[in-house]
Amino acid sequence: MAPLLLIKNLKKSYPPQRTVFERASLAVEPGELVAVCGPSGAGKTTLFDIIYLSERPEGGELFLEGKLAPWNEPRAYSAWRRRIGYIFQDQKLFYDRTVFENVALPFFFDSQQPPHLKQEVEKWLSAVGLFGQKEKSPGELSLGERTLVTLCRALITSPPLILADDPLSNLDTARAEVALKLLEKEAEAGRAVILTSATGNVNAAKVKFYFIDRGQLLGESREGPT
């Protein structure tokens, strides 16, 4: 099966002399759940920001569904990003909007709104136990609850690629299990799911692990680290 996401020989550095990636490569197929692991500062968020076209590498190639990243076509960025559900580590929620409105936000950038938008948003909020919080501002929620709102917003349009930046670290055990189950379900539905973890503690039934080390994405396994 052809990879949904393909990264070849990625190179990224920051001045004065900090190399983040040096000829790093990654291939993720539809239906795969991948965990990218590494300590804080290793480059996990940078990797996601490159995939989302928020950062530009110095070298390498990036393909999504067989299409080369449109680095030189800023007008094409929005169409590229609509193919990605990004669960940001810092949430990026709008505090002057309700929880409901934040989850529904992706549909306001898409001409194809579902006929039952209200029911769709409420379905996702119910799945994470936040139905009763839908009219609140995100500022009235805990950090873990805001993370779950971000998750709902990323998944609601069923994008082919899901990026989850350290989605479990702000959640208690029960909510982390709920979030991981939802991500597993997305992979089972044929979407490519990549999440990051500083600890490698991703207790999914089927997950492929990559580890950032010295600018490379090294190794893979079907079993989590012990």
DSSP string over 178-212: HHHHHHHHHHHTT-EEEEEESS-----SS-EEEEE
CATH, residue 75: 3.40.50.300
**Is the model more confident about 214 or about 150?**
150
Region 65-76: mean pLDDT is 95
Q: Does 66 fall in a domain?
A: no
Spatial contact of 194 and 5, defined as CB atoms under 8 Å apart: yes
pLDDT higher than 50, residue 36: yes
Q: Does 104 fall in a domain?
A: yes
Q: Does 14 fall in a domain?
A: no
Q: Which band of pLDDT confidence, cut at 50, 70 and 90, is reported for residue 224?
A: very low
CA distances from 206 to 31, 83, 85, 209 (A): 10, 24, 21, 10
Q: Does 136 fall in a domain?
A: yes
pLDDT in tens, 102-160: 999 988 776 666 778 899 999 999 999 999 999 999 999 999 999 999 999 999 999 99
Range(s) of the domain holding residue 98 = 29-47+71-218
The number of folded domains in the chain is 1
Spatial contact of 201 and 171, defined as CB atoms under 8 Å apart: no
Tell me the three state secondary structure of residue 87: strand
pLDDT in tens, 146-182: 999 999 999 999 999 999 999 998 899 999 999 999 9
d(CA 155, CA 151): 6
Question: Positive or negative, the Cα torsion across 57, 60, 65, 70?
Answer: positive
Predicted structure pTM score: 0.92
Region 63-67: mean pLDDT is 97
Q: Does 8 fall in a domain?
A: no
CA distances from 224 to 42, 74, 112 (A): 19, 38, 39
Q: Does 87 fall in a domain?
A: yes
